[in-house]
Structure 1
Amino acid sequence: MKKILISAAALCFSALSFGQHYTFETVTDLEATPVISQGITGTCWSFSTSSFLESEIIRTTGKQIDISEMYNVRNTYPEKARNYIMRQGKAQFSQGGLSHDVINSIARYGMVPQRVYTGLENGQEKHNHIEMVSVLEGMLKVYVENPAKTLSPKWKQAIESVLDVYLGKNVSEFTYEGKQYTPESFLKMTGIRPEDYVSVTSFTHRPFYSDFVLDIPDNFSNGSYYNLPLDEFVAVIDHALENGYTLALDCDVSEPTFSQKNGVAVIPADENDVKTMLSTIKEEKRISQEYRQQEFENYHTTDDHLMHIVGKVKDQEGHVYYKVKNSWGTDKNRVGDSEGYINMSVPYIRLKAISVMLHKDGLSKATRKSLKL
Structure 2
Amino acid sequence: MKKLLFFFGIFLTTLTTTAQEAYKFTTEIDLETTPVISQGRTGTCWSFSTSSFLESEIIRLTGKKIDLSEMYTVRNTYPKKAENFVMRQGKAQFSEGGLAHDVINSVRAYGLVPQEAYSGLIASEEKHNHAELVTVLQSMLETYIDNPAQQLSPKWKKAVSSVLDVYLGSNPSTFQYEGKSYTPQSFLKMTKLIPDDYASITSFTHAPFYSKFILNIPDNWSNGSFYNVPLDEMMATIVHALENGFTVELDCDVSERSFSSKDGVAVIPEDSKNTIKALQGVYPERSITQAYRQAEFENYNTTDDHLMHITGIVRDQNGTKYYKVKNSWGTDEKRNANGGYVYFSEAYMKLKAISIMVHKDAVPKNTSKKLAL
Deviation at residue 18 of structure 1 after TM alignment? 3.1
Instruction: Say whether residues 1:320 and 2:321 are aligned partners.
Output: yes
Match of 2:355 in 1: 355
Structure 1 CA distance for aligned equivalents of residues 336 and 273 of structure 2: 22
Match of 2:36 in 1: 35
Give 5+ residue unaligned stretches, structure 2: 1-17
Structure 1 CA distance for aligned equivalents of residues 276 and 296 of structure 2: 21
Deviation at residue 149 of structure 1 after TM alignment? 1.9
Deviations 1:195-254 (A, max 9, x none): 000000000000000000000000011101000000111000000000000011000000
Which secondary structure state, in structure 1, belongs to the residue aligned with residue 57 of structure 2?
Answer: helix
Deviations 1:126-169 (A, max 9, x none): 00000000000000000111255211110000000000000001
The answer to whether the 8 A contact 2:26-2:315 is kept is yes
Structure 1 CA distance for aligned equivalents of residues 124 and 335 of structure 2: 29
The answer to whether the 8 A contact 2:58-2:66 is kept is yes
Structure 1 CA distance for aligned equivalents of residues 66 and 24 of structure 2: 32
Deviation at residue 333 of structure 1 after TM alignment? 2.5
Match of 1:3 in 2: none
Match of 2:240 in 1: 239
Matches within 5 A, 1:286-325: 286-325=287-326
Match of 1:4 in 2: none
**Matching residue's letter, 1:184:** Q
Which protein shows a greater Rg?
Answer: 2
Matches within 5 A, 1:324-335: 324-333=325-334
Superposed CA RMSD in Å reads 1.0
Match of 2:9 in 1: none
Match of 1:339 in 2: 339
Matches within 5 A, 1:189-338: 189-333=190-334, 338=338
Structure 1 CA distance for aligned equivalents of residues 363 and 333 of structure 2: 37
Structure 1 CA distance for aligned equivalents of residues 62 and 159 of structure 2: 40
Which secondary structure state, in structure 2, belongs to the residue aligned with residue 216 of structure 1?
Answer: coil
Deviations 1:282-302 (A, max 9, x none): 000000000000000000000
State how many pairs are aligned. 356
Match of 2:135 in 1: 134
Deviations 1:236-287 (A, max 9, x none): 0000000000011000000001000110000010011011100010000000
The answer to whether the 8 A contact 2:24-2:317 is kept is yes
Deviations 1:336-371 (A, max 9, x none): 5x2100000000000000000010000111111000
Give me the TM-score of the superposition, normalised by structure 2: 0.94
Structure 2 CA distance for aligned equivalents of residues 271 and 96 of structure 1: 30
Moved more, 200-209 or 325-334: 325-334
Higher helix share: 2
Structure 2 CA distance for aligned equivalents of residues 334 and 73 of structure 1: 26
Which secondary structure state, in structure 1, belongs to the residue aligned with residue 356 of structure 2?
Answer: strand
**Matching residue's letter, 1:228:** V
Match of 1:25 in 2: 26
Structure 2 CA distance for aligned equivalents of residues 254 and 221 of structure 1: 24
Which secondary structure state, in structure 2, belongs to the residue aligned with residue 313 of structure 1?
Answer: strand
**Matching residue's letter, 2:107:** I
